[in-house]
Structure 1
Amino acid sequence: NAQAAPGRIHVHQQRLKTMPAELESATTVAGNTVTAASATAMSGGKLETLCVAIVDPISTGACLAKHLSSQGYRLCRVFSDTIPDSVKALVAAGLEVDWEVTIQHEGRVASTLAALRGVGVTHLLVGSEPGVSLHAELSAAFAGGAALSLPREALELRRNKYLQSEAIRSAGCDAVHQRLAHTHDDVEAFIHTIEASAAKRFKAVVKPVEGAGSDGVTICNSAAEVRLAFGKLEGTKNILGLDNYAVLCQEYLEGDEWVVDTVSRAGEHKVVALWKYDKRDYHGSPVVYHGMRLHNVEADEPLLRGMVAYVTAVLDALDITDGAMHSEIMATARGPVLVEVNCRLHGGEGIWLPIAEACLGYTQVSALCDSAFAPPAFASLPATPRSPLLKHGAWVTIRSPADGTITAVHHEKLARIRALPSFLGEYCAPCIKVGCRIRQTVDATTVHGCFNLVHADAATLEADYRVAQQLIDEGLFAFTPAAAGEKDVVRVETPKGPRFSYQLSEQEQVQNSLWGLLHIWRPLEENSGAVPLRKLRAVRRSGWRF
């Protein structure tokens, strides 16, 4: 293994105290049925260096893997049984790592746990949203020294937005008014509650009870829109490939939306970043990301000091003591109210990491690694984002007002954004080129890239942010709108009326989203430093490194 690079995280030399003689039952490891002995052979018998397993290392999880790899840690990846194959097969260009072994979880925690111990895994981390539940189960079993069962209630609190809000309400924290809808009768009961409330106008939110990236979220301004939104989600799957077994109906929370990124160790919570979302209506879609801005508590002390106290109380109420959390909070007139706690790193493919590094000198990824492997370094981190900030940072999203086929890219507008004093970098989806079909931006999953902005002067950053937003709203590209009768075009009913949308191929969907950002994401088969999953599954001999 490579020696650890200089820095706060040190590679500890350690041998496992125990090693199971054989697996209790079969586990698929990159397509092989292995015993502990063969699993050890896969790792080359090298058990001296700490070996870290990352569950579903995609999105920012890939950045986590690269960070650990650069420090000399041995790495094992675990794919959960919920992550779609199409997502597994994507890897960030430049973030490839030398995996000791790949383990495909097939439903039995005891089997996967034995395989992890067989390859010498000493630490477990979660890389992305699909792996949250499996990571929680494996962590409980790993810590207990046997395949212990995590209580179902504790497991569901990691992913279920409804149960999170009910749990914090029971603990005395303010929580959103809501109803979990399994049937149309549940929906009607929720509508009656909203109509009977003292609200001046009807407004509600309907969304999947589990999900990510504003997927399936609908803002409803009437009872009819609530019924329509429920009907669209009932019996479907979300972007993570999980069944929408129930639909969450909630009051609409008026106010600004914030993200509070934390890292915890043994019950000590550190707020490592405060981001203010710029979410607004965009051509009829009410919750479109236009950007986000990094802040410290001192930017608005009365608001943010209270928000930090609220979030730490929420984490305590949910019995969260360790790991990285990505919490979304509404700053309402009655105070901060939880939207959800995502029990993993801030996602978005880690495109925000350069901003955090430039403004803070550390990131949620580095803080998570410190919490696991360098406790003194973690202890030295401030309780809230540093003050003063080293620089001020934000990012703005690339959006499309409708479905269409691109006929021209306005390079002069791109050049103006790149010439801004605060310009740090850009991420453009592969679909932004002449001849490609592009999807209308309606949520986080249909954002087509972003521009990162950082500057030492807050006023300069603010001015550049406004200029970039104006240029994006004017249009960075020209396109011919999708029309009725065109190939693969379907009519989509929305609360604002019908629109025409493409039925994109799987490849086109990847090219249209953050999953397919140019120079970030590309199919694993095209990465010279990695091995395609179909080849991983075809491996028939131990000793391979992949």
Structure 2
Amino acid sequence: MPLQTINDRIAVVVDGHSTGALLAPAFAAFGIGCVHVANRTEASPAHLRTFAPETYRARYDFDGDWPRLLTALRAHPVAWVIAGTDSGIAVADRIAHELGITRHNSPATSHIRRDKSAMQHAAAAAGLPVAWHTTAHTAADAADALRRNGGPAIVKPLRSGGTDGVQLCTTPEHAAHAAHQLLASRTIYGEPNTTVLVQEYLPGDEYMVNSLSADGHHVITEMWRSHKTLVGSSPVYDYAELVPAAHDHGTVAGYVQSVLDALGIRWGPAHTEIIVTPRGPRLVESAPRPQGTLDVSALTRATGRNPVTDTVHTLIDPGFLTSAALPTTPVVRAARGVSLICPATGTLRTDLDWPRIRALPSYHSLLTTIAHAGDKVRRTDDLFSRPGAVYLIHDDPTVVETDHETIRTWERSGFYDIEEDAPAPR
């Protein structure tokens, strides 16, 4: 049964998955109902599992037939349109344009907010320093890129997310192998990888920066310093730590705000990843949607603010953002999101000991779908193959640090009892 609301106006959520699944309940909390559009031309099984159909008044599939979709949506008094995740970005932009919604980003520039090469070019064209980057249509192209520019470099899909297919390559031969694998595969959204991005490896601290925008006015809402570790040649998330705005001194925030301008992000949420190198900040990627795989309750406890309700409030009332009501979010407690790292692919022999993790002094929450003997697990090589994430929050940062190290010690000493799959025949 859909959430019941009184307001006649409707919000459209395109691909309301991951954190985007919370947008419809947030609109309902403001008395506004939602309809959902599923972009079937880009569908991620990992994201589809997070869909909550009961939160919508109506649901429509988009399979490329624009007249049919727009006819269905015009039956509703639509006042707002928002993408829940990357696959909804371009569709949401066009829906808003076709329906005459003003509080949204232009569909003329949607491609630079999805294509990781195009966004780098847009940032460079705006005068921002960026990493060297090039596209590769063949394995030989990728190898040539490293020969010309030197290594190491990152090879990754042009249009994907969550570290899908990302590999750190140190030699031309390694880059050729990574590109060959990618070009023979599809992204998590089901699209064929016809071209890959080869991009300079950037040493330095990585930041995940969340923001809200209203008519081109940008507010940085929170900032996470991200740490990765290598599993083979794949960089996977170790943990992300919430950092106060004062830590930045404006360097990261100013660069991100310029990136948002360069990419034409004028309305709504954005999630931007950058690395602060010895030469200054450099863009990794940015997307106009909420941060994915986020435990909103953890962020609310750590900062006192809710990023999803702030997003909806800003779309309904842009003055909320431009007034003093939404300063950069303070950090009131130490918070860390720890990605669990599974060492092998196979079947669990015994239940995972989640009660032991829940008993940690700084434990806040656990995000996982794996628990019991018989469950299949994968060796962690990207965001979607991790067995879960643990949010740690405490008034004392040293308690968070200690609990994080405890989790890693357990993982190294038999936390996962796995009957490994037989290796694939050569």
TM-score of the superposition, structure 2-length normalised? Answer: 0.92
Measure how far apart 1:239 and its partner are.
0.4
1:459 paired to 2:398? yes
RMSD in angstroms over aligned alpha carbons? 2.3
Task: State whether residues 11 and 79 of structure 2, in contact with CA within 8 Å, keep that contact through their aligned partners in structure 1.
Answer: yes
Secondary structure of the residue aligned to 1:118 is coil
Task: State whether residues 159 and 343 of structure 1, in contact with CA within 8 Å, keep that contact through their aligned partners in structure 2.
Answer: no
Indicate the structure (1 or 2) with the bigger Cα radius of gyration: 1
Query: What code does the residue aligned with 1:346 have?
Result: Q
Moved runs in structure 1, 4+ residues, more than 4 A?
Answer: 1-4, 85-89
The verdict on how the C-alpha distance between 1:491 and 1:456 changes in structure 2, with shifts beyond 3 A counting, is farther
User: Following superposition of structure 1 onto structure 2, how do residues 394-413 of structure 1 map, counting pairs within 5 Å?
Assistant: 394-409=336-351, 411=353
* Equivalence for 2:154: 205
Query: What code does the residue aligned with 1:437 have?
Result: K
* Equivalence for 2:58: 101
Measure how far apart 1:384 and its partner are.
2.4
Secondary structure of the residue aligned to 2:350 is strand
Partner residue of 2:197 out of 239, 248, 253: 248
Measure how far apart 1:211 and its partner are.
0.4
Task: State whether residues 355 and 394 of structure 1, in contact with CA within 8 Å, keep that contact through their aligned partners in structure 2.
Answer: no
The verdict on how the C-alpha distance between 1:465 and 1:274 changes in structure 2, with shifts beyond 3 A counting, is same
TM-score of the superposition, structure 1-length normalised? Answer: 0.72
Distance 2:412 2:239 in 1: 13
Partner residue of 2:269 out of 321, 324, 338: 324
The verdict on how the C-alpha distance between 1:248 and 1:491 changes in structure 2, with shifts beyond 3 A counting, is farther
* Equivalence for 1:79: 38
Query: Bigger shift: 162-171 or 79-88?
Result: 79-88
Query: Bigger shift: 83-92 or 203-212?
Result: 83-92
Query: What code does the residue aligned with 1:256 have?
Result: D
1:425 paired to 2:365? yes
Secondary structure of the residue aligned to 1:97 is helix
Measure how far apart 1:140 and its partner are.
2.3
Partner residue of 1:134 out of 72, 91, 97: 91
Distance 1:261 1:311 in 2: 9
Measure how far apart 1:81 and its partner are.
3.1
Distance 2:47 2:276 in 1: 36
Query: What code does the residue aligned with 1:226 have?
Result: A
User: Following superposition of structure 1 onto structure 2, how do residues 108-257 of structure 1 map, counting pairs within 5 Å?
Assistant: 108-143=65-100, 150-151=107-108, 154-195=109-150, 202-257=151-206
Measure how far apart 1:285 and its partner are.
4.4
Any unmatched runs of 5+ in structure 2? none
Distance 1:491 1:129 in 2: 35
Measure how far apart 1:123 and its partner are.
1.2
Distance 1:301 1:150 in 2: 32
Query: What code does the residue aligned with 1:478 have?
Result: D
1:47-98 superposed Cα distances (whole Å, 9 cap, x missing partner):
xx22111001111111112222233311100111323385675346xx5534
Measure how far apart 1:184 and its partner are.
4.5
1:437-482 superposed Cα distances (whole Å, 9 cap, x missing partner):
3210111010111211111222222222222232233342212222
Measure how far apart 1:323 and its partner are.
1.2
Query: What code does the residue aligned with 1:419 have?
Result: A
% of aligned pairs identical? 27
User: Following superposition of structure 1 onto structure 2, how do residues 433-452 of structure 1 map, counting pairs within 5 Å?
Assistant: 433-452=372-391
Distance 2:358 2:101 in 1: 52
Query: What code does the residue aligned with 1:307 have?
Result: V
Query: What code does the residue aligned with 1:293 have?
Result: E
* Equivalence for 2:290: 345
The verdict on how the C-alpha distance between 1:409 and 1:341 changes in structure 2, with shifts beyond 3 A counting, is same
* Equivalence for 1:20: none
* Equivalence for 1:307: 252
Task: State whether residues 164 and 340 of structure 1, in contact with CA within 8 Å, keep that contact through their aligned partners in structure 2.
Answer: yes
Secondary structure of the residue aligned to 1:483 is coil
The verdict on how the C-alpha distance between 1:113 and 1:403 changes in structure 2, with shifts beyond 3 A counting, is same
Distance 2:225 2:175 in 1: 28
* Equivalence for 1:290: 238
Query: What code does the residue aligned with 1:341 have?
Result: S
Partner residue of 2:314 out of 371, 389, 393: 371
Aligned residues: 421
Task: State whether residues 3 and 54 of structure 2, in contact with CA within 8 Å, keep that contact through their aligned partners in structure 1.
Answer: no
Query: Bigger shift: 214-223 or 100-109?
Result: 100-109
Task: State whether residues 44 and 189 of structure 2, in contact with CA within 8 Å, keep that contact through their aligned partners in structure 1.
Answer: no
Distance 1:331 1:381 in 2: 29
User: Following superposition of structure 1 onto structure 2, how do residues 502-541 of structure 1 map, counting pairs within 5 Å?
Assistant: none
Query: What code does the residue aligned with 2:173 have?
Result: A
1:384 paired to 2:384? no
The verdict on how the C-alpha distance between 1:113 and 1:462 changes in structure 2, with shifts beyond 3 A counting, is same
Distance 2:408 2:274 in 1: 24
* Equivalence for 1:480: 419
Query: What code does the residue aligned with 1:396 have?
Result: V
Task: State whether residues 226 and 237 of structure 2, in contact with CA within 8 Å, keep that contact through their aligned partners in structure 1.
Answer: yes
Measure how far apart 1:110 and its partner are.
4.2
Measure how far apart 1:396 and its partner are.
1.3
* Equivalence for 2:305: 362
1:117-144 superposed Cα distances (whole Å, 9 cap, x missing partner):
2122221111111111111222222237
